[in-house]
C-alpha cells in the first residue's frame, strides 16, 4: 500500500530580515545578523490511507508548522509534500486545486477560525458551491446533511458563530472542512480549547467520522492521552525534528528515545496518584539557536560525547519503529 501523504525531507525556515537600523548598525561594524528559526528541519513523514497519525511535541517543536505545510497553507523552504505519490508543488493548477480540496485542516481556536460576519450555512456552504460540489439548488440539503453528520441541529443554520458554544463552534469548523469531501484531515490541537466533557464528545465525533467517511487524520496535539486514544501511530517531534515514530502500543509500552521516555513519564495520568514528580532538567532550548548534534543532549540523562557532535539519524530499530538516538548503535 502506498502512503496517501508523504513529506520528503521537508524543511521550513523563518527568517527575520534586517530592518534599516540593523543594517546601518551592521555597516558600522556591529555584530548583527539575520535571525533564522529552523521550525521544521528535514522531516520525513508517511501516512497510509485510513491511518490516524498522532503528531506530538511541546511548543516550538514545529508540529503546527509541519501540519500547515501538509495542508498547503505554508510552502516548504526545502523538500516536498507528496499527495498520493505526486509532488504537490510540481502539479498543474487543476491537480493542485484537487489536492488542496482533498486535504483539509481543522484549527485549534473555534473562536478565531470562523468568520464572525457569516452565517453558519454560509460558512459551511461557501466552498462546496464555489468548487461545484453542490449546486445552488442542492446546497441547503447538502449543508443540512453535513450539519447532522457533525452533530449540529440544521435548524440553527441561519445563526452566526457567536451564538454557539465552543464545542458547537468546533463542530462548525469540522463541518466546514468536511463540506468539500476531503480524504485527509489535519487537526491542529483541534480539541485543546474545549472543556473535558466537550472534548470527549468531539473525540467521539472524530472516531465516528473516520469510520463513516473513510478519513485519514494527522492529529496534532500536545496531549499524549488524547493522542494515545485516537491514533494508530505516533510521531514525536523535538525542536523541528522527528525523534521517534512507532505504532501506538509500542511507543507507550516501550518508548525508545530518551525524550519520549521523559515525555511519557511526565504526562499526568489518572492512575498515578500523589506521585513524586521527577522532572527532566532544563528548558526547551530556543529554536533560534538549537544545540549542536542531537537537539535533546543538554537535557538527556544518557548523553555522551558523540551526542553533542553528531546529529543522530532517524533509523529503523524494529519493524515499523523509527528512532533518532545514538544509544541504539550500541
Partner 1 sequence: MTATLSVTGLHTHFFTRAGVVKAVDGVDFDVAPGEVMGLVGESGSGKSITGFSIMGLIDEPGKIVSGSIRLKGEELVGASEEAMRALRGNRVAMIFQDPMMTLNPVLRVDTQMVEAIRAHEKVSKRDALARSRDALGMVGIPAPEERLRAYPHQLSGGMRQRVAIAIAFLNEPDLIIADEPTTALDVTIQSQIIHEAQSLCKRTGTALIWITHDLAVVAGIADRIAVMYAGRIVEAGGIDAVIDTPLHPYTVGLLGSVPTSNRRGERLTQIPGMPPNVLNLPEGCTFRERCPRATAECRHEPAITEPRAGQAVRCFHPHGGGA
Binders in 284-303 for partner 1, by CB under 8 A = 284
Q: Cell for 292? A: 549542536
Closest contact distance (angstroms) between CB of 266 and partner 1 is: 4
The smaller minimum CB distance to partner 1, of residues 154 and 247, is found at 247
The smaller minimum CB distance to partner 1, of residues 104 and 168, is found at 168
The smaller minimum CB distance to partner 1, of residues 160 and 252, is found at 252
Closest contact distance (angstroms) between CB of 51 and partner 1 is: 13
Q: Does 162 engage in binding with partner 1 (CB under 8 A)? A: no
142 contacts 125 by C-beta, under 8 angstroms: yes
Using the contact rule CB under 8 A, the part of the chain among 17-25, 139-147, 265-273, 300-308 near partner 1 is 265-273
Closest contact distance (angstroms) between CB of 171 and partner 1 is: 12
Q: Does 262 engage in binding with partner 1 (CB under 8 A)? A: yes
Using the contact rule CB under 8 A, the part of the chain among 87-95, 112-120, 276-284, 303-311 near partner 1 is 276-284
Closest contact distance (angstroms) between CB of 129 and partner 1 is: 31
Query: Applying CB under 8 A, which of residues 62, 67, 125, 167 lies at the interface with partner 1?
Result: 167
Q: Does 112 engage in binding with partner 1 (CB under 8 A)? A: no
> Could you give the string, one character per residue 47-76, with x where binding to partner 1 holds by CB under 8 A and - elsewhere?
-----------xx-----------------
Q: What is the DSSP letter of 19?
A: -
Q: Does 161 engage in binding with partner 1 (CB under 8 A)? A: no
The smaller minimum CB distance to partner 1, of residues 95 and 266, is found at 266
The smaller minimum CB distance to partner 1, of residues 94 and 276, is found at 276
Q: Does 272 engage in binding with partner 1 (CB under 8 A)? A: yes
Secondary structure string (H, E, C) spanning the chain: CCCCEEEEEEEEEEEECCCHHHHHHHHCCCCCCCEEEEEEEEEEEEECCCCEEEEECCCCCCHHHHHHHHCCCCCCCEEEEEECCEEHHHCCHHHHHHHHHHEEEECCCCCCCCCCCCCHHHHHHHHHHHCCCCCCCCHHHHHHHHHHHCCCCHHHCCCCHHHCCHHHHHHHHHHHHHCCCCCEEEEECCCCCCCHHHHHHHHHHHHHHHHHHCCEEEEEECCHHHHHHHCCEEEEEECCEEEEEEEHHHHHHCCCCHHHHHHHHHCCCCCCCCCCCCCCCCCCCCCCCCCCCCCCHHHCCCCCHHHHHCCCCCEEEECCEEECCHHHHC
Using the contact rule CB under 8 A, the part of the chain among 100-108, 118-126, 154-162, 228-236 near partner 1 is 228-236
The smaller minimum CB distance to partner 1, of residues 159 and 229, is found at 229
Q: Cell for 154? A: 440544521
Rounded distance between C-alpha atoms, residue 241 and residue 220, angstroms: 15
Binders in 175-204 for partner 1, by CB under 8 A = 195-201, 203-204
Q: Does 230 engage in binding with partner 1 (CB under 8 A)? A: yes
Terminal alpha carbon distance of the chain: 33
Q: Does 222 engage in binding with partner 1 (CB under 8 A)? A: yes
Tally of CB atoms within 10 A around 4: 20
Binding region for partner 1 (CB under 8 A): 58-59, 165, 167, 195-201, 203-204, 207, 222, 224-226, 228-230, 248-249, 252, 262-263, 265-280, 283-284
Amino acid at each position: 500500500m502506498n502512503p496517501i501523504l508523504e513529506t520528503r525531507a521537508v524543511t521550513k525556515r523563518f527568517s527575520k530580515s534586517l530592518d534599516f537600523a540593523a543594517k546601518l548598525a551592521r555597516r558600522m561594524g556591529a555584530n548583527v545578523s539575520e535571525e533564522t528559526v529552523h521550525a521544521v528541519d528535514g522531516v520525513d513523514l508517511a501516512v497510509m490511507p485510513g491511518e490516524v497519525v498522532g503528531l506530538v511535541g511541546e511548543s516550538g517543536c514545529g508540529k503546527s508548522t509541519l501540519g500547515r505545510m501538509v495542508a498547503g497553507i505554508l510552502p516548504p523552504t526545502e523538500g516536498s509534500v507528496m499527495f498520493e505519490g505526486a509532488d504537490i508543488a510540481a502539479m498543474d493548477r487543476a491537480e493542485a486545486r484537487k489536492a488542496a480540496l482533498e486535504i483539509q485542516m481543522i484549527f485549534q481556536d473555534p473562536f478565531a477560525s470562523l468568520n464572525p460576519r457569516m452565517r453558519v450555512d454560509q460558512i459551511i456552504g461557501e466552498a462546496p458551491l464555489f468548487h461545484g460540489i453542490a449546486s445552488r439548488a442542492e446546497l441547503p440539503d447538502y449543508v443540512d446533511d453535513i450539519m447532522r453528520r457533525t452533530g449540529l441541529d440544521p435548524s440553527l443554520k441561519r445563526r452566526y458563530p457567536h451564538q454557539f458554544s465552543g464545542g458547537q463552534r468546533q463542530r462548525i469548523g469540522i463541518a466546514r472542512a468536511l463540506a468539500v469531501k476531503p480524504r485527509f484531515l489535519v487537526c491542529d490541537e483541534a480539541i485543546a480549547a474545549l472543556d473535558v466533557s466537550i472534548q470527549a464528545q468531539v473525540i467521539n465525533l472524530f472516531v465516528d467520522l473516520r469510520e463513516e467517511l473513510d478519513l485519514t487524520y494527522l492529529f496534532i496535539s500536545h496531549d499524549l492521552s488524547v493522542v494515545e486514544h485516537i491514533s494508530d501511530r505516533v510521531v514525536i517531534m523535538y525542536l523541528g525534528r522527528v525523534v521517534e515514530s512507532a505504532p501506538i502500543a509500542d511507543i507507550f509500552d516501550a518508548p525508545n528515545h530518551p525524550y519520549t521516555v521523559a515525555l511519557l513519564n511526565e504526562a499526568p495520568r489518572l492512575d498515578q496518584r500523589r506521585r513524586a514528580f521527577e522532572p527532566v532538567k532544563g528548558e526547551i532550548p530556543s529554536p533560534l539557536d538549537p544545540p549542536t548534534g542531537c537537539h535533546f543532549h543538554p537535557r538527556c540523562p544518557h548523553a555522551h560525547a558523540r551526542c553533542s557532535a553528531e546529529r543522530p539519524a532517524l533509523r529503523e530499530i524494529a519493524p515499523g519503529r523509527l528512532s533518532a538516538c545514538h544509544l541504539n548503535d550500541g
